[in-house]
Amino acid sequence: MYLFYVTILIVININGSETKLNRNVLFIFVDDLRPLVDENINLPNIQNMAANGISFENAFAQQALCAPSRNSILTGRRPDALHLYDFYSYWRTFIGNFTTLPQYFKQNGYETYSIGKVFHPGQSSNFNDDYPYSWSHVPYHPPTDKYKEAAVCKDRRTQRMQKNLICPVKVSKQPGKSLPDLQSIDYAIEILKRTSNSTKPLFIAVGFHKPHIPLKFPRKYLDQVPIEQVRLPKYPHKPAAMPLVAWHPWTDVRQRDDIKSLNIDFPMGTMPKKWTLKIRQSYYAAALYIDDLIGKLLSYVDMKKTIIVLTSDHGWSLGENGLWAKYSNFDVALKVPLIFSIPKMAHKSLTTPVELIDIFPTLVDLAGLPYVPKCPNDTDKVILCVQGKSLLHYMNRFSEGDKHISFSISQYPRPGEYPVINSDKPRLMDINIMGYSIRTNRYRYTEWISFNNKLFTRNWNKLYGVELYDHITDPDESNNVNTNPQYKYIKIYLSKLLRSQIDPK
């Protein structure tokens, strides 16, 4: 019984010894889940995984948007290498026939399954979740997924059904009398039962839809998060020194019926405190719902014979700096849980910055599969390569060491400098600015520069905004110290490092 997007054939112990165990892989994908360890929210099953596994406390997505992030994770390549920053291109036909993580395991003898939301559905995965390249079986999507945007949220005043942001429900009264994640779990458990005696190693990816909006979940979970225990964000307004290009108007939140009725000024209005608390409460309740399902899933997994990886495609802003949803280069939008449960490997909690493109080469190492080379500068010429690095050496070392030179690279596109209706999710043809961000253990540094959406080139000399946040004094990233003379030399250093990673000579 094995489930998760990670697979293993060889366990490499702390002392470096190798034991061939023909292990299975379970990859657990949670949609839009930010780390909640500092928010007084108890997610017992995820926390138990972290307490007994290897947890990377500073793991960051490549782009805070579903399709670009998921395709980056699953190919091990950055959005620039895939030329994918929106939902509307399929890398195999648009740029190159690149090998994916599940495809590589499939090519090396694994039976691969996709359950729920793993690839982003639609054009970015060829409307078939990259089947049959990546998967041995047709990917499973729960039947009730078709109701994900249905008007099933009752307005207490009018008793009408609406398309709300906040939507706790009674499951038995829902269309299909279920919810997508409940159906995915049932299907996953059936796969685990059916393949429990399989002689072929398994690679199973399970993707949960929540806490992605709408915040639709069984009502009982709302009772587990008393609103009087929910805290407001420390900085709920746009910081004065934040460049306009860094702001996004969270249009998908505004367009929900319950939020639309608040008539919040576009694009810079602030969510009322009452609603900030209600949204945060519902987000936490949706996370508790998924944590319960993860616990149910893991009860069918032989933890001694399975490598498990748990992560998310990106985080989610909950009112920090006046922002909601994703669509930015801030920590709250990019930072995700990244937990590995590996048989016979001791618990560790690591703070060195890592990237989600590191998952591909890490799993290959853990499974003892043939080495996947690092991508050259002309990545479109190579079918099999990765831009990430294996995290196995961090897992095996007694000390992290050299944390000051470790970093993560992320990016986000904008149509222009001033926030407009499509600033959150610009299509490729509308992208004129790209924000490139580097996160070290102490700093986040971002440059918003001119971007050519036809040639995929950058002009570093045309800047629309620069941000520098010092996490020792400002963990909330609410004080842009870009113009502070005290940071002159660190800014020069980080700018050179960032540019060398995006445009290596």
Q: How far apart are CA 266 and CA 217, in angstroms?
A: 29
Nearest one of 7, 11, 9 to 25, comparing CA atoms: 7
Q: Are residues 263 and 342 in contact, defined by beta-carbon separation less than 8 angstroms?
A: no
Q: Could you tell me the CA-to-CA distances from 263 to 269, 270, 364, 431 in Å, in that order?
A: 9, 10, 50, 28
Burial letters 310-332, b for 16+ CB under 10 A, else e:
bbbbbbbbbbbbbbbbbbbbbbb
Q: Are residues 67 and 85 in contact, defined by beta-carbon separation less than 8 angstroms?
A: no
Q: How far apart are CA 61 and CA 74, in angstroms?
A: 12
Q: Is the peptide bond before 214 cis (omega within 30 degrees of 0)?
A: yes
- In this structure, how many other beta carbons lie within 10 angstroms of the beta carbon of residue 174? 17
Q: Are residues 166 and 279 in contact, defined by beta-carbon separation less than 8 angstroms?
A: yes
Q: How is residue 444 written in tokens?
A: 């986040």
Q: Are residues 398 and 458 in contact, defined by beta-carbon separation less than 8 angstroms?
A: no
Which residues are annotated as catalytic? 66, 120
- Rounded to 5°, the CA angle 16-19-21 comes to 140
Q: How far apart are CA 381 and CA 222, in angstroms?
A: 50
Beta strands in 164-305 (DSSP E): 166-169, 202-208, 215-218
Q: How far apart are CA 115 and CA 255, in angstroms?
A: 29
Q: State which H helix or E strand residue 466 sits in.
A: strand 457-470
Beta strands in 5-48 (DSSP E): 10-12, 18-20, 24-30
Under DSSP, the state recorded for 389 is -
Residue type, 24: N
Q: How far apart are CA 97 and CA 34, in angstroms?
A: 31
Q: Are residues 54 and 340 in contact, defined by beta-carbon separation less than 8 angstroms?
A: yes
Beta strands in 137-214 (DSSP E): 153-154, 161-162, 166-169, 202-208
Q: How far apart are CA 265 and CA 254, in angstroms?
A: 10
